[in-house]
Amino acid sequence: MLRIINRGLLFLLLPFACTAQVPRNYVKDNFDKEEVFIPMRDGKRLCTEIYIPKDHTQNYPFLMERTPYSAGPYGDTLYRGGLGPNSRLMHDGYIFVYQDVRGRFMSEGDFEEMSPAKDQHKTKQETDESTDTWDTIEWLLKHVKNNNGRVGLWGISYPGFFASASLPDAHPAIKAVSPQAPVTDEFIGDDANHNGAFFLLDNFDFDNFFDVPRPTPVKSYGRDLFHAEIHDAYRFFLDLGPLRNTNNAEYFNNQGKIWNEYLAHSTYDSYWQARNIRTHLRNIKPAVLVVGGWFDAEDMFGSLRTYEAIEKQSTPNDNHLIMGPWTHGGWAAKTWTKFGALDFQQNVNDYYHEIETGFFNHYLKDSATAPLAEATVFETGSNQWKTYSTWPPKEAQPVKFELRAGGGLSAPVIRSVQEMLENKAPGTATGSTNAAYDEYLSDPAHPVPYIDGIHGGRDNAYIVTDQRFAAERPDVLVYQTAPLTDSLIVTGRLKADIFLSSTGTDADLVVKLIDVLPGKEDGIQTTTSDPKGYERLVRAEVFRCKFRNSYEKPEPLVTGQVEEVAFDINEIAHTFKKGHRIMVQIQSSWFPLVDMNPQTFCNIPTCGEADFQKATIRIWHDAAHPSGIILPVIRH
């Protein structure tokens, strides 16, 4: 089976990617290793691998990662191929610490998915990730020689969550923390769900290996829950049918604890709310560097919203954000020059590793480095790094680009963008249309694929791929501007504001923002080698419409009644170049990335085949229903 590159598998590969040029025995030649089992306040012991520089002539800070993906290799004589977030830091003088979190691999205790944080610990026996981090640091400070009393933490993806979880009521020795692509809120925007829509493709694969039971501590879990030959994921999940069939005997068979929790909690109930670390990121004292990728298909939401939560709930703070043109964890690689069809014309990781190294050296070793910008972001389209004193930038102003009959997309006439956009832009709406609305038939038996072609696992490049395959379908609506007469910079958070009606009682709404390169029909000469007419996906998001008023209390759509569905979409920093068009595509399935909505109001994890119904979706765009997408435009 072709495995999906997701929050588990990619992270397991990263240590090899980021240390490819490290001499074979460098770690063993320069570090002594100790494997210890550190006792927590409730008596459980956590397996911890400690790498101590052989040079004892100076004191070193700790740099620690807490992980559910194995702190190994285990034993005093087996060494990692590389240490730390990047090879520069490995050479800069640190004591590196890797720890299996509670209940995973060699650590004692029971593992809990996104273990809930506790604001108050009523007894000495109550634990969470903050207390486990605290107890670990207390032990390290007392038992590891030649330490300077300072601790930094980092982690990517799930380990990024454990870095975030160290911040509430942080141990005073913690001076710098870098949550990188941190899993943050799995119902609203991270791995499990986006706006209540279940991300089927990723989680089916991830939980197959991650959800294997562990009766006792183990060095290797050694198996998956089941074996599935998936050569065409679209066909496989279409044939599988309703979500409840994932618990058939040949698949999860009710053996997956986390999988069953996901299916049992299909609204934003106490289970998900307890696992939202954002509400606990208050009064944060350590310096924080949040890292994320514009092409991260797993946890872009977590990066952006972790930074936002600290900004809103901790005053003052020493909180910083860096967003680059990376897929999930791509910043840990030695080089990063391209992604999908995009060429950045530079190794963006050289720039990033300098920032990351300077961050930890400054706070853990008093190294004199230049002040870190509030936000450092890579602007796609123009391929340049930019810094901002606030995020989102204050200079970005919201402009609503409204859908028009006939497939047009236009903005109100404002001086700074008036010459870039035309109110009567030609369009290519593919559904039936009149002056008030466009409509299409959404058929659960023929959902819109998330990517073109046949793929066994999730192709993480879908987030930048050509959308012409979707534009040709009758169940995808297309709206676009005329060619821009000047470049347009859009930087900040997007918002969809769509007026919708349906013949069904539930629907999914997928809104995609696309950068359309000039085609032959535009008659515009370009100096790039990009394919003509390429419809490059810039950002997309799904919203399950029954949650339009509340994630906690879903409500059915009233057949034929127009409803406003407004929701936030993750930020972008992108230049739409002169001669390009801005396009919006709208559809009601994104399969099998997202599970199929039956289009009848029901509890989707328990519904049957009879609940899946065709529905005619109307997208309204008359004066009373101004559907559109709000873009943060930087005027220039």
Q: 630 pairs with which residues across the strands?
A: 400, 495
Q: Which of 388, 416, 445 is the last residue of a domain?
A: 388
State the pLDDT confidence band at 411, using cuts at 50, 70 and 90: confident
- End-to-end Cα spacing for the chain: 50
Structural domain includes residue 19 = yes
Where residue 52 sits, what CATH number does that domain have?
A: 3.40.50.1820
Q: State the burial class of residue 223 (Cβ atoms within 10 Å of its Cβ: 0-12, 13-18, 19+).
A: exposed
Give mean pLDDT, residues 282-304. Answer: 98
Count CB neighbours of 385 within 10 A.
18
Same domain flag for 447 and 331: no
Per-residue pLDDT tens over the stretch 98-131: 999 999 999 999 999 999 999 876 577 899 999 9
State the pLDDT confidence band at 150, using cuts at 50, 70 and 90: very high
Same domain flag for 315 and 422: no
- pLDDT of the residue at 636: 55
Closest CA to 58 of 358, 369, 363, 365: 365
Q: Which of 360, 388, 416 is the last residue of a domain?
A: 388
Count CB neighbours of 246 within 10 A.
23
Same domain flag for 309 and 411: no
Task: Say if residues 174 and 180 touch (Cβ distance below 8 Å).
Answer: no
- pLDDT of the residue at 525: 54
On the question of pLDDT at 180 being above 60, the answer is: yes
Structural domain includes residue 196 = no
Structural domain includes residue 219 = no
Per-residue pLDDT tens over the stretch 186-215: 999 999 999 999 999 999 999 999 999 999
Distances in Å between the alpha carbon of 220 and those of 37, 81, 213, 407? 17, 18, 12, 55
Q: Which residue type does 62 have?
A: F
Tally of domains within the chain: 2
Structural domain includes residue 584 = yes
- Cα angle 341, 344, 348 (rounded to 5 degrees) comes to 130
Same domain flag for 146 and 129: yes
- pLDDT of the residue at 18: 46
Structural domain includes residue 615 = yes
Same domain flag for 116 and 95: yes
Structural domain includes residue 212 = no
Same domain flag for 355 and 455: no
Count CB neighbours of 9 within 10 A.
18
Task: Say if residues 619 and 477 touch (Cβ distance below 8 Å).
Answer: yes
On the question of pLDDT at 611 being above 90, the answer is: yes
Per-residue pLDDT tens over the stretch 488-526: 999 999 999 999 999 999 999 999 999 999 986 665 555
- pLDDT of the residue at 12: 40
Q: Which of 363, 388, 413 is the last residue of a domain?
A: 388
Same domain flag for 330 and 478: no
Could you tell me whether strands 174-180 and 147-156 are parallel, antiparallel, or unpaired per DSSP bridges? parallel
- pLDDT of the residue at 425: 39
Q: Which domain holds residue 34?
A: 9-185+275-388
Structural domain includes residue 561 = yes
- Cα angle 237, 2, 67 (rounded to 5 degrees) comes to 100
The three-state secondary structure class of 306 is helix
Distances in Å between the alpha carbon of 22 and those of 29, 83, 93? 12, 10, 16
Same domain flag for 373 and 406: no
Helices (H), 384-521: 468-471
Could you tell me whether strands 628-634 and 488-502 are parallel, antiparallel, or unpaired per DSSP bridges? antiparallel
Residues 126 and 116: their CA atoms lie apart, in Å, by: 12
Of the ranges 169-178, 514-523, 599-608, which one carries the lowest mean pLDDT score?
514-523
Same domain flag for 373 and 299: yes
Residues 383 and 346: their CA atoms lie apart, in Å, by: 9
Give mean pLDDT, residues 11-17. Answer: 40
Q: Do you find a cis peptide bond into 554, omega within 30 degrees of 0?
A: no
DSSP 8-state code for residue 606: G
Residue 249 CB-half CA count within 13 A: 0
Structural domain includes residue 2 = no
- pLDDT of the residue at 10: 43
> Which parts of 448-530 are beta strand (E)?
477-480, 488-502, 508-516
Where residue 462 sits, what CATH number does that domain have?
A: 2.60.120.260
Same domain flag for 492 and 536: yes
Closest CA to 214 of 77, 400, 70, 353: 70
Same domain flag for 403 and 359: no
Same domain flag for 427 and 380: no
Residue 174 CB-half CA count within 13 A: 28
For the record, the structure tokens of 459 come out as 């192709």
DSSP 66-107: EESS---S-STT---S--SSSHHHHTS--EEEEEEPTTSTT-
